[in-house]
Structure formats: C-alpha cells, structure tokens
C-alpha cells in the first residue's frame, strides 16, 4: 500500500537543454525544468556520506534517495522517463542522479542521488 503522506517534498527534475549561441551553434550548458514531482526523501542515516578525492583534497558527498510515483503511471500525466543525465533540484540544492530502482510493478521509483557542491552549475 502506498503511503502518499510521506511524499512531502516537492522536487524538480531538470534536464540539459540545447540552446543557440550568438553564432548559431548549439550548446548544452543550460538546465531546463523537465517535471515537478512529490517525493519522499529517505533520511541520511549512517553510511549515507562518502568521500570524493579531487585535486588531492577530500570532499564529503551526501547520498540521498527520493521515492516518487512511477513516471509510467497514467496519473503522472506524462510517459516521459527520468534519465541518468537529469538532475534533481530540491530545497535550493542540486543532486546528480546515479541510479534508479523500480518499486514493485511500477508502484514507484527510487531515485539515487549524490548532492553536488555549492556553486556547481554545469
């Protein structure tokens, strides 16, 4: 049985959009809103943070799971799937998607994300 009351976070899925520059060339450096969904955010318990080494410095990476209604459901209004190349925006934070897990027979979808650091736009 679904517990809709737990889906109390309103997230935005964004997708890279191709835009034209001043010379008419296409560039894919803009993120456009793709769809908005109600989601449940699983708590960040122990083991939800890993570390990433960049430029010989260690940075913590927060991992988060959002649970949403399956995008293929007729109630979602759109059959377009969420892609690995999309991102999740929630509460002023950006999350990179690194995996999915279908719940039951399209009862829901877990979206596994890593929070991006401050100032990351591309």
CA 80 from centre of chain: 15
Structure tokens at 65: 């799971």
Decide if pLDDT at 28 tops 80. no
How far apart, in Å, are the Cα atoms of 121 and each of 30, 59, 61, 108?
Answer: 9, 18, 16, 29
Does residue 73 lie within any of the structural domains?
yes
Structure tokens at 24: 């008419």
pTM, to two decimals: 0.72
Domain that holds residue 85: 37-122
Does residue 109 lie within any of the structural domains?
yes
Is the CB of residue 13 less than 8 Å from the CB of residue 43? no
Does residue 85 lie within any of the structural domains?
yes
Over the stretch 71-108, which tens digit does the pLDDT of each residue have? 775 444 455 789 999 999 999 999 999 999 999 888 88
Burial class (CB in 10 A: 0-12, 13-18, 19+), 50: exposed
Does residue 100 lie within any of the structural domains?
yes
């Amino acid at each position: 049985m679904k517990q809709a009351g737990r889906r109390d976070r309103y997230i935005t899925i964004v997708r890279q959009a191709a835009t034209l520059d001043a010379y008419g060339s296409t560039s894919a450096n803009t993120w456009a809103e793709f769809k908005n969904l109600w989601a449940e955010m699983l708590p960040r318990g122990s083991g939800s943070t890993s570390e990433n080494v960049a430029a010989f410095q260690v940075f913590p990476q927060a991992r988060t799971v959002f649970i949403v209604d399956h995008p293929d459901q007729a109630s979602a209004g759109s059959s377009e799937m969420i892609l690995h190349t999309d991102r999740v925006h929630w509460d002023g934070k950006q999350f990179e998607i690194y995996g999915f897990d279908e719940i039951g027979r399209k009862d829901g979808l877990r979206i596994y994300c890593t929070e991006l650091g401050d100032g990351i736009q591309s």
